[in-house]
Amino acid sequence: MIEHRPRAHLRPETGWTNDPIGPISWAGRTHLFHQVNPHGGFWDRPHWGHVVTDDLVRWERRPLALSPDAGGADEDGCFSGCVVVVEGVPTMLYTGVRGPVGPSQQQATCLATSAHPDLDTWVKDPRNPVTTPPPGLDLIGFRDPFVWREGGRWYQLVGSGLPGIGGAVLLFSAVDLGSWSYEGPLLTGADLPELAWSGTMWECPAMLRTGQGDVLVISVLDGETTHYAVAITGHFDGHRFHADRVQRFDLGPDLYAPCVYVDPSGRAIAWGWSWEARSTHRQREDGWAGVLSLPRQLTMRDGRLTVAALPETAGLRTRRRRVTRIRTDDGWLAGGADGDAIDLVLRLAPPTRSVELRVRRAPDLAEVTVIGLDRDRGVVWLDRDHASLDPEADGGRFEGTVTGIDSGDADLRVVIDRSIIEVFVGDEATLTARVYPTRPDSTGVEVVGPSWDAGDLDLTVFDLGSVWSSPPPAAAGDAA
């Protein structure tokens, strides 16, 4: 059996995971939470999982932080939210849900606090819920609070939608977290002419305030179908968000619901949810679904958001491979680079204008994923139409525009971790996709484009280690 469960990405031991939520620095460690259904590889009544790290490289799992309570405001699920520190007390704000999925479901913001030194236990506030949908508004969804403090007040963003308009982010303010006032819509789909389609609602809003402008991150939902995450740059005036630019947060098909965190040094960091691109019954059979992306570093540059690999991710590399070049009809095979958990860096000197990288390649090309970079057109792309012989695995070709790669050296970093591929184009942009090869020999790497003996291209390959400081109980082939 081919192992598709990643080893260098955060995930539960078993069960379903989706949104990363609530990153926080506490007592010298970084805590991250995530949505999880511990009962199987399918979505159902979300809980909050919990992981912690000392270095953003190796992590350990902690007990479930939050679970639904029968009869409570969250009896049918503890949806996404955030964590803040209030007068020295770590405090969760999350969406408590009552009722089955549908228009009549009750969604509201709830509170929980922790006095545990490792944040292992949380006590729900007896006032829950503390924020409910404003009366008189016809809304599509009301969830995923994001909270920050500024100018002596707390601000809360809630993801929602307005019938006939599309996605919306609602703004609330408060002096304390238990009593909120509705300030109005922060931003709606009608405010974004550049975004031709905004779905029916926006999920997981997050605000990043920087000295070069503000960034609002949202994830676009249509009905019950998740689509992609969007970064909107502009400025927040205390009441409304004024948008200047709209861009995809990630250029691939399989990243959603990024959460934003500013670490103690002032760096902006994000994790996203990478869902499965295979049938739901395969997920149920395997007993797990979903992983979190590698952490990304966010920077404002010339009015736009750049997304890069966090430098600490290089700490997941172990052995550096010795790579040889073996001529092929189209280019050259990277001898010694075979593997299903590897980190590749392809550096192009200015004479090389375009390149293709074939990864998870079977010797007869029956299975192969193709990644391309075209400096003249300013695009990066990934084609997984032939990534798997499994007819239930998703295919497709995905392309996005990247600035700043037309001159000078260009770096293309590709992290392959079994079923997830993350492409980093320098410090500009990312592309995330899931692939599911079926053959054990679908591990090769081939470079197509430059001549096999070209000196203007350099390929470096590393093995990937495990993300777990103490490995979880391993599935077959999943040792640390």
- Do 137 and 206 fall within a single domain? yes
Q: How many domains is the chain built from?
A: 2
Report the share of the chain in percent with pLDDT over 90. Answer: 90
Please say whether the beta carbons of 302 and 438 come within 8 A.
no
Number of C-beta neighbours around residue 224 at 10 A: 8
**Are 92 and 141 in the same domain?**
yes
The answer to whether residue 4 sits within a structural domain is no
Q: What pLDDT is recorded for position 198?
A: 85
Confidence of residue 53 (pLDDT cuts 50, 70, 90): very high
Note whether 294 and 194 are same-domain residues.
yes
My answer on whether 122 and 238 are in the same domain is yes
Q: What is the domain range of residue 238?
A: 15-302
pLDDT digits (tens, 9 = 90+) for 320-355: 999 999 998 889 999 999 999 999 999 998 888 899
- Residue 318 CA, distance from chain mean position: 24
- Give yes or no: residues 298 and 322 share one domain: no
Cα dihedral 109→114→120→124 (10° resolution)? -40
pTM of the predicted model as reported, rounded to 2 decimal places: 0.96
User: What is the per-residue pLDDT across 126-172, written as a single tens digit (0 to 9) for each?
Assistant: 999 999 999 999 999 999 999 999 999 999 999 999 999 999 999 99
> Does one domain contain both 241 and 183?
yes
Secondary structure (3-state) at 167:
strand
Percentage, residues of the chain above pLDDT 70:
96
Q: Which CATH number covers residue 40?
A: 2.115.10.20
Evaluate whether 75 touches 84 at the Cβ level (below 8 Å): no
Looking at every residue in the chain, the average pLDDT score rounds to 94
Task: Using alpha carbons only, give the angle 221, 224, 229 rounded to the nearest 5 degrees.
Answer: 25
Q: Determine the pLDDT at residue 477.
A: 36
Residues 159, 109, single domain; the answer is yes
pLDDT tier, 193 (very low <50, low <70, confident <90, very high otherwise)? confident
Distances (CA, A) of 467 to 139, 143, 315, 464: 40, 30, 9, 9
- Do 29 and 134 lie in a common domain? yes
| Claim to verify: residue 404 and residue 347 sit in the same structural domain | yes
Q: Which residue has the higher pLDDT, 455 or 242?
A: 242
Residue 447 reports pLDDT greater than 70 = yes
Give the residue-averaged pLDDT of 172-199: 91
Looking at the fold, whether 291 and 338 belong to one and the same domain comes out as no
**Position 408: which residue type?**
G
The helix (H) or strand (E) run that includes residue 50 is: strand 47-53
